A and B are shown apart, each in its own frame.
Chain A
Amino acid sequence: MKVLVAVKRVVDYNVKVRVKADSSGVDLANVKMSMNPFCEIAVEEAVRLKEKGVASEIVVVTIGPATAQEQLRTALALGADRAILVESADELNSLAVAKLLKAVVDKEQPQLVIMGKQAIDSDNNQTGQMLGALTGFGQGTFASKVEVAGDKVNVTREIDGGLQTVALSLPAIVTTDLRLNEPRYASLPNIMKAKKKPLETVTPSDLGVSTASTVKTLKVEAPATRSAGIKVKSVAELVEKLKNEAKVI
């Protein structure tokens, strides 16, 4: 079974981002970039499926600038077999990304597509579901457990009140949540080997996809800050303040 994994290059999750003074966006100059944490979990899940003998080939794809090759090489070092970069310098919305992924799915014909539930930059949580609509595949979003059985995949999902399990006909799409697995680190020999694995570059126009968007960002601002309050000396003082000053209990 072929597995397609989609990943995104984002600001490293340890970086404290700052809004630009002209409110045009977030300052990304000289900031460390990494693979989106949810995408790392997607790569790990695909590699585990291959180790179990369920997956036969793992193709990793990203849509982004030329520098996103770094994240593809990381995925190759973790165990993906080959990589596709859909090169676009523009920041694309989820629908455009889903359309590009649909074109890749049509070409590659995977049985399973695994991707992160959301990217930690735009926080959209849309692309997997949109790809589901465009391909007609079933979707198991926010997955904490994935079990392939015959021509179906059982996905346990993290929902508001607990967990839900659905059975999807293959081909299907899975989006990962935090507790699906703990991603491994790439070993040095694997990082060296990954440099020799195939990496193909295509453009949106090669795939015949228009990336026009109906949403534009007018401005980006820092959130309202909350100032620190006071330190109380005892539990009794805390209770007194909550009752008489804040009046919340």
Chain B
Amino acid sequence: MTILVIAEHTNSALAAATLNTVAAAAKIGGDIHVLVAGANAGAAAEAAAKIAGVAKVLVADDAAFAHQLPENVAPLVAELGKGYSHILAAATSNGKNILPRVAAALDVDQISEIIAVESADTFKRPIYAGNAIATVQSSAAVKVITVRATGFDPVAAEGGSAAVEAVGGAADAGKSAFVGEELAKSDRPELTAAKIVVSGGRGMQNGDNFKHLYALADKLGAAVGASRAAVDAGFVPNDMQVGQTGKIVAPQLYIAVGISGAIQHLAGMKDSKVIVAINKDEEAPIFQVADYGLVADLFEAVPELEKLV
């Protein structure tokens, strides 16, 4: 049994989610190969070769793979993936974009966002926004799976010494072109990788008030998130959204500020180790999942918290 893991990377660096995906592959068992499809992706490939437990790194380096366009990357993965028992990718926006296209090209079903491996063919995954957990079994010749990073502790980024092999393959399918991107720039840690997350909801009242959360986050070395209500109200951009349709996070400490705790939001953060809720409404559902609840006006409590930590 050999498993192909599709690396999540930026060409110049490997993304942390790759380590969680390799962890899921290790739970399934068997040899693990990692595919780095990119352009000038030597640095990402070198990093992949150092991951503990990886036997081989395949590098497909072509301008057509620079922006992970699925029309170009999926045929490559499908062609390379034929000989493998499993193809795994992180359930990131890239993984979700590319892998179903691979599965259909191979004429197999895909299993999305697994949170646990029961055996080599049986997996657990959340459905209905995490309100139910399904155990599913696949009889497909190649099992195509996306992995929810929070379900698996990452493997060590160092310690391996895999062989690196160049592979060719399909290139530009001519269906799509990259036009541009606007990436949020921040010195704070990335939401899904942060040990501490401070999130704000509708109770923040406006975008400017998020400065209180940024100040607290900077003191704690935390990332800043938001509920869908805060994003929809235009307080902050969508890439900060934590919830079923946003980012799924599971930090050591999650501080929910002015968030009522809609099911949609809870689905994105309820696996956090410790949850703190600050809300002036003591009936807010967020208190039902919080380890420590503080019923208080957030505009008094957050600055005080910032001073005391």
Contact = CB atoms under 8 A, between A and B. Distances in A.
Size class of the A contact interface (CB-based, 8 Å): 35 or more
B182 A220 contact: no
6 contacts: A17-B128, A26-B127, A95-B108, A133-B103, A178-B238, A178-B245
B281 to A, nearest CB: 13
A161 B126 contact: no
Interface in A163-182: 163-169, 172, 177-179
Nearest to B184: A162
Contacts of B112: 123-126
Q: Chain A contact residues: over half helix, strand or loop, or mixed?
A: mixed
Contacts, number: 247
Given A95-B108, A166-B178, A121 B253 contact: no
Is chain B's interface secondary structure helix, strand, loop, or mixed overall? mixed
Nearest to A225: B289
Contact of A123 (B97, B129, B238, B293): B129
A121 B127 contact: yes
B139 A214 contact: yes
A160 B179 CA distance: 17
B161 interface: no
A220 B109 CA distance: 19
Given A121-B127, A137-B175, A166-B69, A95 B109 contact: yes
The list of the 3 closest CB pairs from A to B, nearest first, reads: A129-B100, A229-B291, A130-B104
A138 interface: yes
Contacts of A177: 245
A95 B104 contact: yes
Contact of A214 (B97, B138, B252): B138
B93 A160 contact: yes
B134 interface: yes
